[in-house]
Chain A
Amino acid sequence: MEIPDDLYRLVKARCGLEGRTVREVTEELYRRWLAEAPTPPATSAEASGKWPEDWIAMADRIMKSAPPGPTARELLAEDRNRLERQ
């Protein structure tokens, strides 16, 4: 496996600071990555299928489990207004 020199130097320096070997850190990162939920890329159907029906169906699936709270539009408005004096 080839790693860019500059990246490897930074990793090695950080490992030195933390008193760990590159091997230990690499193994830990692999394990952490494998423990995360997989994030498949958008399929071609999602990306270029029947627009907009496909992404609307996808939105319904995804947003079904959203926690209660402000809508995405309200969050966006809040974000845009956060520096405004009311």
Chain B
Amino acid sequence: MPGVTVDSSVWVAAADPTDSFCAPSRAFFAGLFRHGSRIHVPAFARVEVACALARRQRDAPAARRLTHAMLSGGQVAEVAMDAPLLVRAQGAGTAAFLRGADSLFVATAQATGATLVSWDNELLRRGGAVTPSDWAAANP
């Protein structure tokens, strides 16, 4: 089964019980675990997820600990943001008029041959992403 690149929107939705997308996000991660799917994220995801959780919880150390636990699963691979990835992100981002951060996730998915999974409207519309629910429906 091809791997997945999981956008920060899905990570933070799964972490936040008050989010209306929390349950489908958690179900998605459980599905990834069940299938043993490889999860590729750009190293930048660690920063973006931790900062969003810290802003939500107003507890920086807790946000860092939680982010570390989330991204430390054996199935998760953080992809280095080296020159080749940034060149790819620049190409993908400019071609689809993406925001800079979004292009890093698109480039990571392209570089690893993974399916990009996101709740973000721009990534869904222009970045070739699918929602966690769509991924789960296609991978029962």
Chain A positions within 8 Å of B, measured between CB atoms, are 37, 39-42, 46-48, 51-52, 54-56, 58-60, 62-67, 69-77, 79-80, 84
Can you list, as one digit per residue, whether each of B5-45 has a CB less than 8 Å from chain A (1) or not (0)? Answer: 00011001111111111000010011011000000000000
Q: How far apart sit A70 and B18, CA to CA, in the bound complex (Å)?
A: 9
Are B119 and A73 touching (Cβ within 8 A)? yes
Expressed in whole angstroms, the minimum distance between the Cβ of A5 and any Cβ of chain B is 30
**Closest residue of A by beta carbon distance from B26:** A56
Contacts of A41 in B (CB 8 A): 65
> A76 is contacted by which of B30, B52, B69 (Cβ under 8 Å)?
B52
Contact A62/B62 with A56-B26, A69-B56 known, Cβ cut-off 8 Å: yes
Q: How many residues of B contact A (CB 8 A)?
A: 45
Expressed in whole angstroms, the Cα–Cα distance for A67 and B72 within the complex equals: 27
A42–B69 touching, CB < 8 Å? yes
Contacts of B13 in A (CB 8 A): 71-73
Q: Are the CB atoms of A75 and B52 closer together than 8 Å?
A: yes
Q: 8 closest Cβ contacts across the A-B interface?
A: A51-B73, A39-B61, A72-B12, A72-B56, A55-B69, A59-B15, A71-B19, A47-B72
